[in-house]
Chains A and B, each alone.
Chain A
Amino acid sequence: MLIEIENLSVTFHAQGRVVRAVQDVSLSVNARESFGLVGESGSGKSTILRAICGLAPISGGSIRINGKPIATPRGKAFSRQVQMVFQDPYASLHPRHTIDRTLSEPLAIHGLPGTDQRISQALTDVGLPTAFRFRYPHQLSGGQRQRVAIARALMLEPEILLLDEPTSALDASVQAETLNLLSRLRAERGLTFLMVSHDLAVIDHMCDRVLVMQHGRAVEELTREALASAQMKTDYARALFAASADRMLQG
């Protein structure tokens, strides 16, 4: 198992209120597997990804990568291994940094050589012309920005990519291109995906196994086969499936 999460709980304390965003969630992901987390907003699915990255306060349970508990604070070794792609490419890229600066920063921090060549390669890999290097984010479309965000995450050649709703801010047609890009990169580089989405169809297209979440708890884990043949045991998973399947036209 590459990623093992056991009884993870995340609790926020805000103005005297206690919010249990994630409660006792366990999951494990094999190397080169693609694992999906699905649920409505507020179900805690993104919080799990943030907890792995050290962006959310863990109040219980453990996270292990390659059998070793992850270090707190997450060090350089962690970022070489795990990277995250955020939901909104309009908000996740620095508006006043050129694409070149955004992509070269991880290399500078980790003291890696060959910046120039690596950046050109990274842009080519995500299907962008190398001339985009000296543009600013506002000069790119949403789909192009998300490609830059993916290129940034891949600069350090991580094994694990955490994807937080990578296509939900994009148009249907641009979503297809971005999903194709992610599938291709996973096949080429043997990446492991832990992907969050509220769209069951996207998760089904991308992932081998799915964990359905609601109100911070795990509801049901499904394999892709069980999902396709609608063999879910819990009512909530079935309702979510119905809401998604509802949108599919026959034909």
Chain B
Amino acid sequence: MSQLSVKNLRVTFDTEAGRVEAVRGVSFDLGRERLGIVGESGSGKTMTGRAVLRLIRPPGKIEADQMMFDGVDLMKASEREMRALRGPRIAMVMQDPKYSLNPVMKVGSQLMEGLRQRDRVSKAEAHAAAIAALTAVQIRDPERVMEAYPHELSGGMGQRVMIAMMLIPNPDLLIADEPTSALDVTVQAEVLSILDNLVKTRGMGLIFISHDLRLVARFCDRVLVMYKGKVVEELAARDLMQAKHPYTQGLLNCLPRIGGDRGPLPSLDRDAAWAV
């Protein structure tokens, strides 16, 4: 049974320089699984994620034949209904903790804000929930982090705080937009295993957006490969090595490997015909 069903999603921007089609006819179904969306910058992967939450500002326009989440028609839902969905049902982890956390608010207050405002819980309860969320993302010293401002945290800590914040309302679907791109390899592995555990133990659905195909393949069940706003290939992560589309193969082969030969890395030939 699919939790989220998207048919023929289009995101367009009417700009002075003409119409920009960021997403052009993307369809997918998501159950309680981990779906990866991969592509280069500008391929429309982030816009697809944001469109699901209707987080696209004018002049951007979202159109779709269907966009249903758990019986709710996301295309017809009012702003009020959308607000009720964002957070408690569908949460999104943004790319960069430096820009996505409020720089002049302590981490603790930011974590508790939603609980206090939306769920009207007491200060003590909110505090306990925030500490629990920070512990869930393996922050060793949650009391100190609660009192810290975002600039006092490292990139890895900031990213974990963002994940913790999204997990407090216990959403059914988590959209993670490049959650580890700003992090070191060692920290990256940690953050991924935290996400993986949460998906397993809480039975969340996950949409994982990244430009790193190998990372996505290791982590997800299914992968959508996007190019210029279109899905060029959809495949099970374990079949990735048998990818047929030249673009997928290109993304796969362009990363250097330890112990690989040191000849020039294959670069991507982008063929305009793929985007038609």
Contact = CB atoms under 8 A, between A and B. Distances in A.
Indicate whether A and B interact: yes
Interface of A: 40-42, 141-142, 171-177, 179-180, 183-184, 198-202, 204-206, 227-229, 239-241, 243-249, 251
B8 interface: no
B59 interface: no
B257 A201 contact: yes
Interface string B258-271: 11101011111000
A205 B256 contact: yes
Given A41-B154, A247-B214, A249-B218, A176 B185 contact: no
Contact of A173 (B188, B189, B215, B254): B254
A249 B258 contact: no
B232 to A, nearest CB: 14
B155 A41 contact: yes
Contacts of A183: 262, 264
Contacts of A180: 264-265, 267
Which of A201, A229, A240, A249 has the most chain B CB atoms inside 10 A of its CB?
A249
A142 B211 CA distance: 14
A89 to B, nearest CB: 13
B217 interface: yes
Contact of B267 (A176, A205, A245): A176
A176 B267 CA distance: 6
* Chain A at the B interface: SS class: helix
A181 to B, nearest CB: 9
Given A172-B251, A183-B264, A245 B258 contact: yes
B102 interface: no
Given A40-B186, A239-B186, A249-B218, 17 more contacts: A40-B185, A172-B255, A173-B254, A175-B254, A176-B267, A177-B267, A200-B185, A201-B256, A201-B258, A202-B256, A204-B257, A205-B257, A206-B262, A227-B258, A247-B212, A247-B214, A247-B215
Contacts of B267: 173, 176-177, 180
Contacts of A176: 254-256, 265-268
Nearest to B242: A251
B240 A249 contact: yes
13 contacts: A42-B154, A173-B211, A173-B267, A176-B266, A176-B268, A180-B264, A205-B256, A205-B257, A243-B186, A244-B185, A247-B185, A249-B241, A251-B241
B40 A173 contact: yes
B184 A247 contact: no
A145 to B, nearest CB: 13
B213 interface: yes
B186 A204 contact: no
A198 B255 CA distance: 14
Which of B185, B214, B250, B265 has the most chain A CB atoms inside 10 A of its CB?
B185
